[in-house]
Amino acid sequence: MKMIKTITKMMDIAKRRGYASLKRFGNDVYYISYDKHYVRLYHYGTLTLKFSIMENRIVSYYGESASDRDSMNTALYALGYEEEFFRFSRVREEVYLTTK
């Protein structure tokens, strides 16, 4: 699994502050919101991962690229999950959830 150090650092900041963002040319490349109910990960303004802290489960996900897959897996790793939950299909050009 490819780890994105930026996402790991952003998750630490979001846990303390409630949010973290990485901007490039005035646009949010990544944005993470973290509250007592949900962790939300955005990539270029699109919600890619919504994780329920209370229910300890993935509520929703969306991805169209390997970078979406890597950022979602890294966010879950930062929450304490060691497994790789998401894969990317080049044929379907989408990210899908693995079932283990």
The average pLDDT across 24-37 equals 94
Per-residue model confidence as pLDDT tens digits over 42-65: 999 999 999 999 998 999 999 888
CB within 8 A of 52, min separation 6: which ones?
37, 38, 58, 59
What are the residues whose beta carbons fall under 8 Å from the beta carbon of 56, sequence distance 6 or more?
Answer: none
Look at residue 99 in the predicted model and tell me its pLDDT: 61
Q: Quote the tokens at residue 69.
A: 């897959």
